[in-house]
Structure 1
């Protein structure tokens, strides 16, 4: 049985989910016009609002900037006290407001229109001053706020944010903005590393354990131990990879026999080792390890020559996991 706090949380989530789901009914030709205006904009996208809508506007600016659409934030109150100079001739202005009737909005809209800039309104009142005077209106009307008093902006600000995300994602797809582009704008932190860090950046920090096919069991043990990677590669006389021996293989071998002295590397190797190109993304190495339930991969170049190992610990150290 849920507590009153849990019931309140569920109610809030349900109200906001319903508000978001209803947005699809407002996606029409106006959305296409907004996308076209932004794509054909010769300047920047200036996004403005007041109160909670201003905070949402800042989030939309951040999302657009990180996905290839240059944008900047202008607070509606500051705009009418000097910041209007931020808007240049070819800029498109997006204004967010739930009511579309704020005093600051009513002052701001005519000034922008007189300058000849296109205005896109994201508002929750189709009959409002903002909706009627904008060049393009994107409807984010909600039937009810999640606030029990139907006062605090909750469902309405969520709807604004989702409409902003819809614009950003659509622009990404139309502009062919891919993961490589995303990486250019997110070079820092763990997210950046997942997008640009490659196997080549990591494997060189490790040893390069290897033995020949006729190496003794003792040499195999020493190679695994010295490499500190839990494995060693087995090479033939032409230095081609013929297999891998892991510390797990050694343990399983001892479960079967104690007579290991006569064994050679070729007798105990695993002939189908998992490999990865040194140019692959580090996150691809992680996916391959997870898929095969292993902790290391042999790193090779295009001809398949042995270069070294990448280990799960390397990925943990760099914050890929």
Structure 2
């Protein structure tokens, strides 16, 4: 039984991963990259927020973007309406994640940020969601099945969010013209830093 369930999980994950790659809009990714670039030119910053499991994705994405030369800050989706939105200034870009795009807590956070003149990049599994309507740029990250019989715990949907935002990181990395020397400057530690050190002059 377990082998059958695992095989089903891997099959669904493979299918959903391929579908999200096929459905991801390069035009939307380019628009998001351009939005971030223009905000940075004017001194704006980038933040990532989400409620629940997408909040954990937000932590990772903020760390990834920072490591490739786009300083990015995690914004707690719940604390934002209790004062933490003060870290976001007018003109800053906020990437907001929500599988449904209808989560009440995130609605309050996004509305607060928009009232403070932040620019929203929405990431959701529903193209016609509230979040999509509130976003300057919308990135679709939807799946049909999560990968288990219950079809509720977020599995494939989390992978979809990560894949889409990793794709955006590729454009940002190219925009920043990241090279090994720059990357080593920000990441000198661990085995990754050691592997890069050999290719860095001096």
Q: Which residue of 1 aligns with 2:64?
A: 63
SS at match of 2:49: strand
User: Does the 8 Å CA contact 1:147/1:153 hold for their aligned counterparts?
Assistant: no
What's the TM-score once normalised by structure 1's chain length? 0.59
SS at match of 2:82: coil
Counterpart Cα distance in 2 of 1:87 and 1:94: 12
Alignment length, in residue pairs?
198
Cα deviation digits, residues 204-235 of structure 1 (max 9, x gap): xxxxxxxxxxxxxxxxxxxxxxxxxxxxxxxx
| Pairs within 5 Å for 1:7-86 | 7-23=4-20, 24-42=22-40, 43-86=44-87
User: Does the 8 Å CA contact 2:5/2:148 hold for their aligned counterparts?
Assistant: no
Counterpart Cα distance in 2 of 1:177 and 1:280: 15
Q: Which residue of 2 aligns with 1:169?
A: 170
Counterpart Cα distance in 2 of 1:172 and 1:83: 28
SS at match of 1:47: strand
What's the TM-score once normalised by structure 2's chain length? 0.91
Bigger helix share: 2
Q: Which residue of 1 aligns with 2:184?
A: 183
| Pairs within 5 Å for 1:1-321 | 4-23=1-20, 24-42=22-40, 43-197=44-198
User: Does the 8 Å CA contact 2:28/2:137 hold for their aligned counterparts?
Assistant: yes
User: Does the 8 Å CA contact 2:24/2:164 hold for their aligned counterparts?
Assistant: no
Question: RMSD of the alignment, in Å?
Answer: 1.8
- Which ranges of structure 1 fall in alignment gaps of 5 or more residues? 199-278, 282-321
User: Does the 8 Å CA contact 1:34/1:120 hold for their aligned counterparts?
Assistant: yes
Cα deviation digits, residues 183-215 of structure 1 (max 9, x gap): 1111111111111147xxxxxxxxxxxxxxxxx
Counterpart Cα distance in 2 of 1:25 and 1:135: 19
- Which ranges of structure 2 fall in alignment gaps of 5 or more residues? none
User: Does the 8 Å CA contact 1:146/1:155 hold for their aligned counterparts?
Assistant: yes
Structure 1 or 2, whichever has the larger Rg, is 1
